[in-house]
Amino acid sequence: MKMGLVTYVPEKVEGYDMHVYYSKWADGQAFPAAKEMQNDVTCFCDAKAIREDPSLVAVSKDGQALRKNRKLNVPFDFVCPTNPEYRAKVLDYVKGLNRENIEGVTLNLYHFPEEEFCVCPRCVELWRRSGLNWTEWRAQAITDFLAEAKSLVKGTFAVEIFPDPVVAKERFGIDFERIAELVDYFHVPLSAKDYFTNYWVDLLTRDFLKILKKPVVVELSAEMPTDEKLDALLKTVAYLSRHKLLGVLLLVHDPENAKQVCRYAVHKGGFREWLKKYEFTEMTQIVDDWAKFY
């Protein structure tokens, strides 16, 4: 199992062998490519673009896909995924990243906000002309977008997966079977403020490993200032190491945050003894490697 980072700083850290850099954010900020890293691109969540042109927003009978619309529970502000100008803008950005020496591209938030979206006149017209039912048309629209993006990517191509293993197709237009044909691996973020309660991480990991027909990496949040939280995080990673994952990614603020995790694992909390006692061989290997640097 590889250990990797998801980070806001385009800088590799020793001891980690996958590096995912957030190059385009849900608030609309977009940054230059991070060299030799996997560049993570937020597609249809763009608060800035919607502020500048409110007609971009995805719509339903309950109104617009905006965080301030309390009838809904959407985590970001969503652009309608069939808007041709906006799609072209995202694809152009992906094209630009691929002019640089990058590892590859991961797409994030490339789907509809929820099942009842989008009923703008363009989407309704496209759906009617397709002859497909609502669920199939929406999945087709998303898969087509991903296929087009993939054709622009010369390295590793991956997608993030909103962690719903059961109704992702109906809700978001995410068709696991079709997407598996396009990607090198799936990236499943299981974010939390802490992992003191962690059964759900194990549960969702098992479910996704069973369903997804390509390798899977799981992302956990590691922006943790306390020893107690780091201890719970690392034990959760240890349990994940017993599954057949391609890797575990840690979301960190910056390189120092990533090193803090390694230093804790190597030196504190009796973590290495705990790993040996309960025979976490894979995780023991990872921490032994960290001990060479930290």
Positions in the binding site for Zn ion (CB under 5 A): 80, 118, 120, 123
CB of 183 to Zn ion, least distance (A): 25
* C-beta closer to Zn ion: residue 50 or 153: 50
Shortest separation between residue 53's beta carbon and Zn ion, angstroms? 14
How far apart are CB 160 and Zn ion at their closest, in Å? 22
Q: Least Å distance between CB 173 and Zn ion?
A: 12
Helix (H) or strand (E) holding 128, with range, is helix 121-130
Based on CB atoms, which residue is closest to Zn ion, 120 or 258? Answer: 120
Cβ distance to Zn ion smaller for residue 86 or 280: 86
| 37/138 Cα distance (integer angstroms) | 31
Nearest distance in Å: CB 285, Zn ion: 49
- Taking a C-beta distance cutoff of 8 angstroms, is the pair 86, 120 a contact? no
Residue nearer to Zn ion on the CB measure, 64 or 241 = 64
CA distance 49 to 43: 11
CA–CA distance, 280 with 98 (Å, rounded to integer): 39
- Residue reference for tokens 């191509």: 157
What is the spatial distance between Cα 267 and Cα 287, in angstroms, rounded to a whole number?
10
**Cα 146–Cα 217–Cα 256 angle in degrees, nearest 5:** 110
State whether residue 63 is helix, strand or coil.
strand
User: What is the spatial distance between Cα 23 and Cα 98, in angstroms, rounded to a whole number?
Assistant: 12
Closest to Zn ion by CB, 39 vs 83, is 83
Of residues 120 and 158, the one with the C-beta less far from Zn ion: 120
Taking the CA atoms of 281, 266, 187 and 116 in sequence, report the sign of the dihedral they define.
positive
CB of 112 to Zn ion, least distance (A): 9
* Structure tokens, 271: 């973590």
Closer Cβ to Zn ion, 80 or 251, answer by number: 80
How does 55-93 read in b/e, with b if 16+ C-beta sit within 10 Å?
ebbbbbeeebbbeeeeebebebbbbbbbbeebbeebbeb
Q: What's the closest the beta carbon of residue 164 comes to Zn ion, in angstroms? A: 21
Min CB(81)–Zn ion separation in Å: 7
Q: Which is nearer to Zn ion, 120 or 222 (CB)?
A: 120
CB 142 within 8 A of CB 182: no
